[in-house]
Chain A
Amino acid sequence: AQTVTQSQPEMSVQEAETVTLSCTYDTSENNYYLFWYKQPPSRQMILVIRQEAYKQQNATENRFSVNFQKAAKSFSLKISDSQLGDTAMYFCAFMKPRRDNAGNMLTFGGGTRLMVKP
């Protein structure tokens, strides 16, 4: 079974600065996907970024980028130019695609609570 670990329960950052959230995972699979989800106080789960394990290039989405280290099984999220609206819980998640693609399931880490301070 796969496990996802987020070792930082809480973090804070000043507005406009950069912060990195850590995530490690354990799997024997070679082909898989990794995700970062954001959960603001509204509780809505929002996909931030996705990384395919077979791609060496790190994914980026505007101010959000990842550092994917496959050998180390590490998948950190960097948020640049932090904004007050980035305040949220952030969850790292793992998905091993099934051969038939049916019902691919997400395995989530425990989350990191990020507070952006003005």
Chain B
Amino acid sequence: NAGVTQTPKFRILKIGQSMTLQCTQDMNHNYMYWYRQDPGMGLKLIYYSVGAGITDKGEVPNGYNVSRSTTEDFPLRLELAAPSQTSVYFCASSPRRTGGLEQYFGPGTRLTVT
């Protein structure tokens, strides 16, 4: 098992550019999450999904979009990058049987918007 994988590891974007952060898990987990971690801060939930075709907003969804067409993949889309989106992005997954109590995190993507 690779667990939760995220690509890319690092990315620099110019203001106004778009990109997709990829997240894949091979543990057959129903629940998946996207968090962002600003410097010196804790993680904040952007979006989450309880299964293929079902997504919902978290605490800080503005400026982002997600889709969940398969159980394995949960990409995060930034349409018009802004400096405020400079952050480290973490994807996580959780088996349904734990109700989200056991979240397995990916290694993160460090994004800089200049």
Contact = CB atoms under 8 A, between A and B. Distances in A.
Asked if A and B are interacting partners, one says: yes
Interface of A: 4, 9, 33, 42-47, 50, 91, 93, 95, 97, 101-111
Contacts of A106: 43, 45, 100, 103
A101 B48 CA distance: 13
Contacts, number: 62
Contact of A111 (B42, B48, B100, B102): B42
Contacts of B100: 95, 97, 101, 103-106
Contacts of A46: 105
Most chain B beta-carbon neighbours within 10 Å: one of A46, A50, A101, A109: A101
A24 to B, nearest CB: 14
Interface residues of B, number: 26
B42 A105 contact: no
Given A45-B43, A45-B105, A110-B41, 16 more contacts: A45-B92, A47-B102, A47-B103, A95-B100, A97-B100, A101-B99, A103-B31, A103-B100, A104-B101, A105-B45, A105-B59, A106-B45, A106-B103, A107-B59, A109-B42, A110-B42
A46 B4 CA distance: 13
